[in-house]
Every structure is written in C-alpha cells, then in structure tokens.
C-alpha cells in the first residue's frame, strides 16, 4: 500500500 | 504592540475553526507589513498558511516584529461566545507580553475581555515554497470554483477517508477516492469556450495520491473566495490556494502518499 510522507521532508529548513 | 481587528466569520476566524481539530497552536508573525499565520497538524501531514497584508486589514496596527503562538481552541471558543455584532480586537501589548487579550465590544459599548497565555509554536523551521519554487517543482495547476471544489472534497472524504488521487492532463482533471465497499471517480473536462471558471494548465500529466480527509478539512475555508487554484507536482505536496481581499491569500499543503 502507498506510504504516507510527512511535510517535514519537503519544507523543513535546517 | 499589536492590534488585530477581527470579525466573527472573517478569514482569520474561518482558518482557526478549520484547523481546530488538527492543531493546538497557530504560529502568527506580525510586522508593519501584515500578518502571516501558519498552522501544522500534529502528524505533520497538512499545513495551512494565511497571508494578510496590512492594507487589506482595516484597523491593523503593528509597530514591531511580533512572533506568537496562539492557542487555537481558546481563541475559537472565545469568538464563538461573542455576538456577530461585536467588534473584536486581538491585542498583544508591551506591558502584558506573554499573554494576548481578546476584547469584545458590543454596539452598546459593553465589553468582554479574554486573556490567554501565549504558547510556544516552534514552526519557524517550516519554510514554505515561493513562486519560483512552485514554477520549477510543480508540473501543473488547475483553477476551479471553490464551491465545486468543496463539494468534491466532501464527496471524496465521505467515500474514502484514507486514499485519494488527483490526476491532471491537459484535457481533464480527475478525482478518485477508494472506499471500503467501492470507489468514486469525478472527472472534469477542460472547456474550450470558457476558461475563466475552470482552467487546466499543465506542462506534463501529474498523478498525486493523498489523504482526502485533510483536503476536506480545508475546503470550507476556500469558499471565502470564489475560485481555488490547485498546484500539482509528482514529487511535492499538493498545494491549494485562494485569494483573500486585494493581496491576501490562504494556502494549504497536503503531504503526498507515495506508491511503493
């Protein structure tokens, strides 16, 4: 089944 | 010092109501130029951002950079207690830093004041994409009536709360949701004659899987504007935007589900 990604990996600034 | 005039049912109130069950705190940054609100759900699957320039906000006063975490439930409960005719003002002052005051003044000048403790938002680390990013990473956009969008979101969410797909080509836009006992498909064809109401603009076909529950949560907010615009990417979260006032806007991002 598809895996749910979180938004952290896209918009997380270090 | 910050003074934020609010009205029951205005965009700020609508956004707060919409995210009530998703998040405890709204991160609000105010400057002389305007207000920026950011809220993320506890699972980090959806973000809503409200941008309100000072010129669109009658009576807005802010003379310094203020970054605060507002407890959403307290604020919403207070606004719900107020009357539609009340003038509401959210205040953060130098003398009571660490708290916000929400003042309600009736047409007869009777007043009710609520005072809340500010909370730590810790949302500075979320950096949302700018126009340049959207142009480079998003392969397509679709403009459609917000009322229609809300109806679809409700339909998808009612049918299947876990798995939905939006697909777009230069000819059509398709919504799909998987329910326990069946599936639902909704298809919109690009109309040649009238592109002011519904318009597809894609560089290449995009298919994006997501959780319909989150989109449905935000769909009501978008009816504050007549139109919504969906930005679709093969690799990035779904973004939905609507314009508020002259230069204001609401954006929401919904995290994608990725096929194995």
Contact: A13, B260; criterion CB under 8 Å: no
Q: Which of A2, A7, A11 sits opposite B259 (nearest CB)?
A: A2
Q: List the strands of the sheet with B99-105, edge to edge.
A: B61-62, B2-6, B87-92, B99-105, B111-117
Please give the pLDDT value at position A14. 57
Region B36-64: what's the mean pLDDT?
91
In chain B, residues with a C-beta closer than 8 Å to the C-beta of A10 are 236-237, 253, 255
Rounded CA gap, B22 and B141, in Å? 26
Rounded CA gap, B59 and B68, in Å? 20
Both structure tokens of B166 = 């939006």
pLDDT tens-digit readout, A5-14:
999 989 876 5
pLDDT tens-digit readout, B132-191:
888 889 999 999 999 999 999 999 999 887 899 999 999 999 999 998 888 999 999 988
Which residues of B touch chain A, with CB atoms under 8 Å apart?
40, 43-47, 125-129, 163, 209, 211, 236-237, 253, 255-260
Burial class (CB in 10 A: 0-12, 13-18, 19+), B37: buried
Global ipTM? 0.92
pLDDT tens-digit readout, B94-112:
766 689 999 999 999 999 9
Contact: A4, B40; criterion CB under 8 Å: no
pLDDT tens-digit readout, B2-41:
999 998 888 889 889 988 888 899 999 999 999 999 999 8
Q: List the strands of the sheet with B206-210, edge to edge.
A: A3-4, B256-258, B206-210, B163-168, B172-178, B183-189
């Amino acid at each position: 089944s598809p895996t749910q990604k979180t938004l952290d990996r896209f918009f997380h600034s270090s | 010092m910050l003074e934020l005039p609010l009205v029951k049912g205005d965009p700020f109130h609508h956004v707060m109501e919409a995210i009530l069950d998703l998040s405890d705190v709204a991160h609000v940054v105010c400057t002389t130029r305007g207000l920026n609100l950011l809220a993320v759900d506890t699972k980090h699957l959806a973000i809503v951002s409200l941008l309100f320039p000072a010129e669109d906000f009658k009576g807005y006063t802010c003379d310094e950079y203020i970054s605060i975490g507002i407890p959403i439930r307290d604020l919403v409960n207070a606004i719900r207690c107020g009357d539609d005719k009340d003038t509401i003002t959210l205040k953060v002052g130098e003398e009571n830093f660490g708290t916000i005051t929400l003042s309600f003044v009736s047409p007869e000048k009777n007043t009710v004041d609520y005072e809340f403790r500010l909370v730590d938002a810790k949302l500075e680390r979320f950096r949302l994409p700018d126009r340049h990013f959207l142009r480079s990473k998003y392969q397509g956009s679709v403009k459609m009536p917000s009322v229609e969008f809300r109806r679809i979101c409700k339909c998808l969410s009612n049918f299947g709360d876990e798995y939905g797909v939006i697909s777009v080509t230069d000819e059509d836009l398709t919504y799909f949701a998987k329910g326990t006992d069946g599936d639902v498909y909704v298809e919109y064809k690009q109309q040649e004659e009238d592109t002011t109401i519904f318009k597809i603009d894609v560089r290449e076909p995009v298919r994006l899987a997501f959780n319909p529950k989150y989109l449905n949560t935000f769909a009501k907010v978008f009816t504050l504007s007549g139109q919504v615009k969906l930005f679709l990417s093969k690799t990035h979260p779904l973004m939905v935007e609507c314009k508020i006032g002259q230069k204001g806007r609401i954006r929401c991002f919904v995290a994608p589900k990725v096929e194995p």
